[in-house]
Structures are given as C-alpha cells and as structure tokens.
Structure 1
C-alpha cells in the first residue's frame, strides 16, 4: 500500500507540473496572440489613416479645390479647375505678345524680351499653375470677356468664325510672315559664255546658266472667305517661333493651346470693335483742332528783381524791359532769322544754344520730362496755328518777357481721334455693364486701404525754375496741392549765379502765379 501510494503521489505531482506548464504555455500564447492582434490593429489603423489621408488629399486636389468658385459674371461662373485652363490660355496670349515684340524689335532689343519666354513657359506647367495663387489679371480678363459677350448678345451683336479667322491671320502674318515663294517661269534664259573652238582637240566650253530669282511679296490681308484656310499655317509658324526660343526646354503649351487662346483674343477684339463703332459712329464725328503736342522757340528778355522787391518795383522792372522785348519782336517780324537772334540775345542760357527751341509740351503745358510750362506762355503758344508763326505780342511770365515762335503743332489725325473717342466711350460702357450685369470675386476682394489726404500746407512763396542764373521771385502766394509723397517745406530761394536749366518750365504739380 505504501508503494502504491507513493507512486500515485508522484503521478499526481507530475500531472500538476504538466498542468502548470500547460497553463503557462497557454498564457504565453494568449499574450502573443494579443500582441499580434494589437500589431495588426495598429498597422491596419495606420494604413487606414494613410489611405484616408491620400484619398482626402486626392479629393481635395481633384474634386473640392477645382470646384471652388473664383469669379462669377451674371449666371456664368469660373471655378478653380476652369481657372487652371484659363490661366494656361492667358499665358499663351502673353507668350504670343512677347514673341510679337521680339519679331518687331529684332536682335537690338529682342534679347530682353526673349528672357521672358522660358519664364512664361515654366509658369504654364500644370503643377506651377496649381501651386501659384490666383492671378488677378487672368480673372479680370475672363470677367471682361464674359461681360462683353453677354452685353453683345443683349444688343444683338454677333461675330462669325470667319471674321475671327481674318483678324487672327492678319495679325500672325504681320508678326510671323510666311516665307516668300519664288515665281516659277516656264522658260529659262540660256547664256553661252564662250564659243566652241576647234584647235586640234575639240573643246566645248559653253556653259548653260539659267537663273530664277525669287521675289518677296508683301502678304495682303486675307479675305473673310480665304482666312479660315490659312489659320493652321499661321499657328504653325507661331508655334515654331515659340519652340525656337525655348531651345532645349520642353514646351508646356501645345499648338492647340495657342489656337484656343488666340481665337478667344481675336473674337473679343472683333466684338469690341463692333461695339465701339456703335458707340461712336464715324458719321457725324466732329474733329478737334486741339494739338496733342506743341514745339515752340522763344527769346527771353529777363527781368531781374531783388529778393525783397515791392510790387511797385516789380511793375517798374517789367515795364522797363518790355521795350527791349518789343524791339526784338519787331526785328524777327521784319525778317531776321529767329534762331540767330535767339542765339545772340536770349537770356535763356539753355535754349538759346538750340536757337531758342524748347522741349515739346501738350496743350496743358506738361512736358515729357514732367515739367510744367507757365500758363501764360502756354496760352500764347496755343493761339498760334501755323508753323513759323510769331506771336503778335510779347508774353509776360514770372521770368520776364518772351518772343514766341511756333515750330510745330501736331494735331491727331481723324483716325487717331476717332479711335481715342471710341476707346474712351468703350471704357465707360464696360464699366457700366460690369455694374449692370454683376461681376463677383470669390473670396470677395478687399480694397487696398489708401491714406487719407493730409491737410493743405500753409501758403508759401513758390520758387520758380532758374533762368539765366537768378531765380525770379514770385510776389503772390499760392496754396500748394496736398502732397503726394513728401510734404514740401517753406524755403526762401537763394539768389546765386547759375546756368539756366529750363526755359519756362517749373516742376510738375507746381502752380506759378502770373504777374
């Protein structure tokens, strides 16, 4: 019994140990299974989140962002996806304009325009357009095109495809002309250069030299019926010029892009011309005789004044010098050469080197360099209508007395005046139509804040441009206009001997009081 009992105890102990080992092994398996499940769940969640982010990014880039509105004209809207294509076409139009400038200016100035070609080409890449902010100019062009098109429909104006093709081909033929063709002649002249002579051996030396000389002819404006058939060739020449400027760079625009872009551009151009013609008809258009530019020569008899001269002294000084000016006037009216007299006797030390001739100015008295001619001088010059005409009276300005001769008076031609009038009328028309039809931007544009104008400065004596080395003191005081960038300070002009730099011009935005 004792042996059996001991044996049973050993078996029981072994069974218990086996059970413990089994339980431990089961616990380890369960822990490992839980760890693996956590790994799988974590990996699954990570992959799921990554896929979700990828799908979200694709949805944002391909669905949500392209659907965002950019602008709206009446019921026609432009979303971000459509804007990308509109931007491509706008860049194609800019490239055409740059290539046109290169062709017009040639190698002398074309190089500086050629630098823009690779830049515009890079901007036309799809990733670059998506990454760049919305271009306001492109949206503005699209909005105006919609306004013009919708308003034209309301007015019953239409443009045919043939009219668009005619305008497009005419412009491209001028910028990128087709190669001249050589006229084919049915007969060629044969000119023998030597006679056949026999001296022992027979040697024939007659040479046949037919010559056909190609002649370049100017391309006429294609008719409405012929133009559509020439569009493809014209666009091909443009695209070849585009590729030639890129050298080894891959073009980001296709020939079809240029075709679509220029079709829109010239359709709008033809439609605009029809609207302008309706706004300002040629029949009944009144021509103006006002000049856009005047060039005059003058002889200055300067009046010297002390800085503290009284009004009585001023009047006396001008009166004392008037006789000298009138004597010079009588001399040039009597036939003396104006340029010679100006060179010998004018007190304007600058203009007399050029026979008294001044820089051109417009009918408001503004010169190209931004100076302002004295109003009394401008009024006298405007009264002259024929080149070479001399003013009947001497003209008084703060500088002294002037004898004035008209050198040239440029009046715009009828075509120029008509085009300007139509352009001005169209600007007013489209501004009105924008309001009537309704143009909206998304998000709404915030107007740029402008600084409020400052209070006018106190009235101060205005120094004038020096003539003959001594500035003329203006007795009157004139209130300055509100300053644009800098606030002028009141200064007393210093009297010193310097060489004149301007004849009767004073800085722009300066008002000179006429005595």
Structure 2
C-alpha cells in the first residue's frame, strides 16, 4: 500500500524532467584531445549543468573527475571503432534509440521553457491539495489478508482478546507495516486508497472495523488509534514542488493530445 502526506504528495512531479536544461557553451572550445580527437568543452558543461540541477555540487574536484571519465570513454570509443563495432547492427539500433531519447528530452526542456507556471496557478493547486487532504490526520493499525473469511476470523480473534499487532506480524500481507505490528504512519485520509480512507474516518479512537474492508490490495481489518489536526506546510515551502506537479499534469495533457492526433497503424 502507498500512504502519502501532503508534503510527499506534492513533491511527486517532474523533478527529473526539469533537471536537465539547455547548455550554451563556448563554440569550438576543447576540453581535451585524445589521439588527436577533440572532446568538446560543451560535453563537460552539459553534464555539470545536469548534475547541479539535481542538487549535486559543481567543484574543481568534480569537474576533474568528470573530465577523466570523458577521456576514458573517448579512449574506449576509439578502440571500439578500430574493431568495427560501430558498424554492428545492434549498435546502430542503440544509436537510433539514443537519438530518439535525446529528442524527447529536448522536447521536454523546450516545453518547460515555453510554459512557465504562474503564482496564481501554484496557489490554486495548493488550495486544491489542502482541500483534498482535509484538516485531520490519522494514526492507525491494520491487517491485510487475501480473503474476506480470513479478515472475519481476525476480527473475531481480536474481540476474544488476541492483539491485532500479533496477528499483523503473523499474517499481514502489507510488508511495509507487517514488521511493526500493522502500524501505519500519521497520514491524512486522502493518502489511503478507497474505501480504506472512508472506513478509517468513520471509526472512533480505539475502535476496530466490525466488518472487513475490501480494497484492490485485499481485505483489511483496521483499528483507529488517534486523530490530530493536520499541519499543512506553508506555500513558500512547497512552491517548487507545486510547480513540478503542475508542469507534470500540463505536460501529460499535452502528450495525450499529441497521441490522440497521431495516426497509429
């Protein structure tokens, strides 16, 4: 099962998509020469730009290491050409695929440049997420099993005094909570799959579901332990992740539109 808080939810986006941006390096500049073959400086700058966009530091030491890597790659590539590997059909297929991947990446970067997200759009997304997540978060335990009969048996056992935690460790199919006796992290109801979320919000603190709850994962026995107000992170704290989320939705819509217009035979 997957349970996400607000900060986690809005962090899901196209961080990988916007990590790589176009690089304008000096035309004709050379990083190094290997057997007379020039390695352009733009190749190094492109890698550095991509790494720094992902939060990795740009330092003389990292540049030196990258330079050595590029030189080694050039040495190997030259030897591969000597052996005629560049004429191999599989290599040509890989080359075509790499070119297509680069074109897709270029399109993504160009799309991001041409579709800046306004503060108004970000605040609208922020408010929508706040509404979606609600104003409470829940602490609960659960046991996940494959059949309704198993779940009903578990409810009966708990009512007779067997600890839910013990049963969860023995039987639960949820590997994320099994070792913790079925314990789930504090989460808003919207973080849970339906109808798990609905069942959870109807329980009182300390109460157990009287009937098994069916979801796409299986059958659940749920116990609500506690409820508290949900602390929503401030807008400025999640603004960048909100931009990624909005861009992700816009880009997906654009791609779907392209697919709908394409003639596929």
TM-score range, shorter chain: 0.3 to 0.5
Greater fraction helix = 2
Larger relative contact order, structure 1 or 2 (CA cutoff 8 Å, min sep 6):
2
User: Normalising to structure 1: TM-score of the pair?
Assistant: 0.20
